[in-house]
Amino acid sequence: MTETDTPKLAKKPHWTSLEIGLITITSLFFIVIVVLIILFATQSDKICTTADCTRSASRLIENMDATMDPCDNFYQYACGGWLKKNIIPEAHTKYGLYNILNANLDVILKGVLEKKVEREAAALTKAKILYKSCMNINLIEQKRGAPLLDMLPDIFEWPMAVDNWEDNYGKTWRLEDVIARLNWKYGIQVLVNFIIRADDRDSTSHIIYFDQQMSFGLLSRNIYSCKGRFAKACRAYEQFMFDLAKLIRTDRGLKIDETGLRAEVTRVVDLEKDIATATDSAQKRDPVLLYNKMELRSMNTISTFEIDSQKFNWSYYTAKIMDTVKITVPESEKIINYSPYYYRKLKTILAKYTKRDVQNYVVWPFVMQMVGGLSRAYRNTRNAFLKVLTGKTAEDALWRRCALYVNSYLDKAVGRLYVQEAFSDNSKELMEEMIKDIREVFISNLDNLSWMDEETKKAAEEKAQAIRERIGYSDDIMNDEYLNDEYKDLSYSAEEYFKNILQNLEYVQKKHLQKLRKKVNKDEWLFGAAVINAFYSANLNEIVFPAGILQPPFFNKGQPKSLNYGGIGMVIGHEITHGFDSKGRHFDKDGNLKAWWTPESTRKFLELSRCIANQYSSFSWDLANGLHLNGNKTLEENIADNGGIRQAYQAYKKFVKRNGEESPLPGIDLSHDQLFFLNFGQIWCGSYRPQQAVNSVKMDIHSPGMFRVLGSLQNLPEFAKAFKCNKNSNMVSDNVCRVW
């Protein structure tokens, strides 16, 4: 267009009033549509549509039941969808998120253990040979029970499964010899629990502990009442022992006196019942009461039980164990007697039984454990019992059992394979940031605790600051030389699974025994990488988050931080709080048993703890025949849950203040505060078989998942605020319990 060019004006048309009205309406409609499109586009830009966000939203929606009122029963709201569409697999006694994650992890382990690599560290090859031997099912079936039968003479035989025991073994039998060998060679702790670990009052040194027997065939001492709901389990247990002894006698070509054998089985179960009843689970919760330090020789005067006039010699027993690792233990050796009461009771109990009864009993836990490495005919005797005890109706797939087994004994080698296959080191940086945030929240909350005096607060802050964290895996496992040296004493055969099992038992136990004269290595990783769990150690004042747990829904670098804080953030807070629960609070910042609390702060802590214990004891569980939870048994875990969820939420709110609000998730009309709690709730989605529900109430130190959610959120006003719950809602407690 030049300067002289002028635009020509179009002739203005003539519009009627009707036309003008239509044009105006059409224009307005067009404008509204444009505005809505702009608003929608603007809003769409705010929604997180990444793959991680989309997957997270899909999972949350699929697992929840949005028709439920979150203020009425948040567990059903969070997990109702999951509960409707998931059934418990036959090989499981309970089934939840942990089981699903473990199943996925097992698939990864199967892949790496079956993968052929041209050149790799010798330790990795050993792990694969061990796996292959476990998978060699045809050879295992061919051998039936022979591997077990061949080595029973090594532990003075199982009297009910052999003829003429008194003449062939009884004359030279000595209880110390049997249980010492079961300890150092097979890792079986029966009657006497002999362990070596850090001295509670000097966490840099190892010391010998004598403790009560910790595990029993019927799982919990309560079941040994054999009354009511437990009668069937007791009958199944006796039948298991009877069937197994009968099978061994048959394979040995021995005659079977069923009446006599049943009487003998009954004697063994009666003895086990007496021993289980003598144990004291309540005392185990107070490390101060447990700590009874004395010279070894003192045990010979304090704990004087005997069998057939043979007095148990503690010095001789200890020497039989420690001589195997060439360590001399004098009678002046300092030891810790964790269970004086139990050992006094043993004197009365064992006086009622013959050495044949006792030998039948002490060999039984070993026989029961070793069944897993034998043919199906032997395993079926145990499977029938487990079906009654736990409701489990089938074994896991062979490959899964084998992957779990290899991971449990060669955890460093398997951890290396897992990390190489499935773990990203990018996770460590974000985890470190979250731990820092949650630790700071815990420390800042100390200022607001009116029940704790300044002296104790200062010591608590020092301890919290001193907690060390371990994330993912130890760098050592990526070093071939280190890994090969770790397993240099192991040599497996792909054709000898049972012998491989025995070798592992001895290897692990001797490694523990060899620590007695060594300083505690506080830099050592005590857990493998391929583990879906987290840990706190009081003696080390350390929290551990293995690589296995650093995955959705607990954690994912790409998912919203609200989900990370509601998932792994809660776990971080949980583990930190363990350092200050009713057990952990007794240990100082260096991991030593020490009275660092003032009497007044201790009194108030115990008072607040009782509130939580009473709250959880008030929960009854329909699935467990209406049994009430034991709030005292689960107290430490409940304190940790309550502290963990509060700290994680506060840390998330600080993150938002620092970084701004996160973009909404697609398709789910919930704020990120609400999503924080939803992800927390869904971590505990799960189902139990009725038998396992009863077992869980009786013996688990954790509350069932449903009550872990309900109990902790009822004590958190921030939850009620996020979901706008009124004060009369079930999720709002009339008596809020809070310790940390």
SS3 280: coil
Distance CA 450, CA 448 (A): 6
Q: Can 637 be counted among the known catalytic residues?
A: no
pLDDT of residue 707: 98
Does the pLDDT of residue 207 top 60, yes or no?
A: yes
pLDDT of residue 403: 98
- Residues with Cβ within 8 Å of 688's Cβ and at least 6 positions away in sequence, in order, are 88, 93, 94, 623, 696, 704
Does the pLDDT of residue 45 top 70, yes or no?
A: no
Place of tokens 């992890």: 105
Average pLDDT score over the chain:
92
Does the pLDDT of residue 7 top 60, yes or no?
A: no
Distance CA 305, CA 347 (A): 4
Dump the DSSP string for 603-617.
HHHHHHHHHHHHHHH
Tell me whether domains 66-92+426-477+522-722 and 150-373 share a fold: no
pLDDT band at 282; cut points 50, 70, 90: low
The pLDDT tens digits of the residues spanning 369-424 come to: 999 999 999 999 999 999 999 999 999 999 999 999 999 999 999 999 999 999 98
pLDDT band at 280; cut points 50, 70, 90: confident
Pairing, β 202-211 against β 334-337:
parallel
Task: From the candidates 211, 274, 641, 673, give the one annotated as an active-site residue.
Answer: 641
pLDDT band at 427; cut points 50, 70, 90: confident
pLDDT of residue 24: 43
Distance CA 713, CA 90 (A): 32
Does the pLDDT of residue 574 top 70, yes or no?
A: yes
Topology at the third CATH level for domain 66-92+426-477+522-722:
Collagenase (Catalytic Domain) (3.40.390)
The pLDDT tens digits of the residues spanning 435-454 come to: 999 999 999 999 999 999 99
Distance CA 48, CA 378 (A): 55
The pLDDT tens digits of the residues spanning 127-185 come to: 999 999 999 999 999 999 999 999 999 999 999 999 999 999 999 999 999 999 999 99
Q: What is the DSSP letter of 12?
A: P
The pLDDT tens digits of the residues spanning 220-263 come to: 888 999 998 899 999 999 999 999 999 999 999 999 999 999 99
**Structural domain spans, the chain:** 66-92+426-477+522-722, 150-373
pLDDT of residue 465: 98
Does the pLDDT of residue 41 top 80, yes or no?
A: no
Pairing, β 542-546 against β 468-472:
parallel
Looking at this protein, which amino acid is placed at residue 695?
N
Task: From the candidates 575, 588, 636, 637, give the one annotated as an active-site residue.
Answer: 575
Which residues does residue 686 pair with via DSSP β-bridges, in sequence order?
Answer: 96
Does the pLDDT of residue 527 top 80, yes or no?
A: yes
Distance CA 567, CA 117 (A): 36
Residue 321 CA from chain centroid, whole number:
29
pLDDT of residue 185: 97
The pLDDT tens digits of the residues spanning 579-637 come to: 999 999 999 999 999 999 999 999 999 999 999 999 999 999 999 999 999 999 999 99
pLDDT of residue 213: 94
Q: What is the mean pLDDT of residues 119-132?
A: 97
Q: Can 575 be counted among the known catalytic residues?
A: yes
Which residues does residue 199 pair with via DSSP β-bridges, in sequence order?
Answer: 202
pLDDT of residue 424: 83
Pick the CATH number of 150-373 from 1.10.1380.10, 2.60.40.10, 1.20.1440.130, 1.10.10.410: 1.10.1380.10
What share of the chain in percent tops pLDDT 90?
90
Distance CA 578, CA 590 (A): 15
pLDDT band at 283; cut points 50, 70, 90: low
pLDDT of residue 370: 96
pLDDT of residue 281: 72
- What pTM was computed for the model? 0.90
